[in-house]
Amino acid sequence: MFTLDAAPAWLLAAVLAVLPWVASTSLRDAISAPKQAILLPAAAMVVLLVPISRAQLNASPRQVPLALIPVVVVVAFLLSPFHRETLLGWYGVRLGMLTWVSAGVLGVAAALLAANPTYARVIRLGGVSGLCIVALLALARRPERAQHSSSCE
Partner 1 sequence: MNTRSTAMVGTANDLAAFALVAFGFLWRPGQNARLEFAGGAALSLAVLLSLSRAGAALAVLTLVAIGVLAALVSTPRTTFRQVRWLFLGAYVGALIALPTGAPAALLGRYVEERPPDSTSNVRQRDLEASGGVRLELWEAGMRTALARPASGYGPDALPFVYGRHRQESETLDLYYNYQVESAHNILIDLTITGGFPLLTVVLAAIISGVWISFQSLPRREIAPIIALASFGGFGGMALLNPISIPTLVYGLVLLGLLTTGNRTYILNPRIAFSISVVGFVVLVASLVFSFALVRAESTAAEARIAYLRGDYARAMTLYHDASEIMPFERWYAVEEFAAAVGLAAKTNQPDALARADALGETVHRRFHPLIAEVLTRARIAYLRDPNDERVEELLNTARSLQPSSPTWQQAIAEVRR
* Window 74-103: residues binding partner 1 (CB under 8 A): 75-77, 79-97, 99-100, 102-103
Least distance in angstroms from the C-beta of 2 to partner 1: 18
- Residue 2 or 148 having the CB closest to partner 1: 148
- Residue 2 or 65 having the CB closest to partner 1: 65
Angle at 113 between CA 108 and CA 116, to 5 degrees: 155
Least distance in angstroms from the C-beta of 103 to partner 1: 5
DSSP symbol at 6: G
- Residue 6 or 123 having the CB closest to partner 1: 123
Return all residues near 49 (Cβ < 8 A) that are at least 6 apart: 7, 8, 11, 55
- Residue 2 or 84 having the CB closest to partner 1: 84
Count interface residues toward partner 1 (CB under 8 A). 108
- Binders of partner 1 in range 23-62 (CB under 8 A): 23-25, 28, 30-41, 43-45, 47-52, 54-60, 62
Query: Which of 6, 7, 11, 130: binder of partner 1 (CB under 8 A)?
Result: 130
b/e per residue 13-41 (b: at least 16 CB within 10 A):
bebbbbbbbbbeeeeeeeebbbbbebbee
Least distance in angstroms from the C-beta of 106 to partner 1: 6
Query: Which of 1, 3, 110, 118: binder of partner 1 (CB under 8 A)?
Result: 110
Burial class (CB in 10 A: 0-12, 13-18, 19+), 122: buried
Containing H/E element for 66? helix 64-79
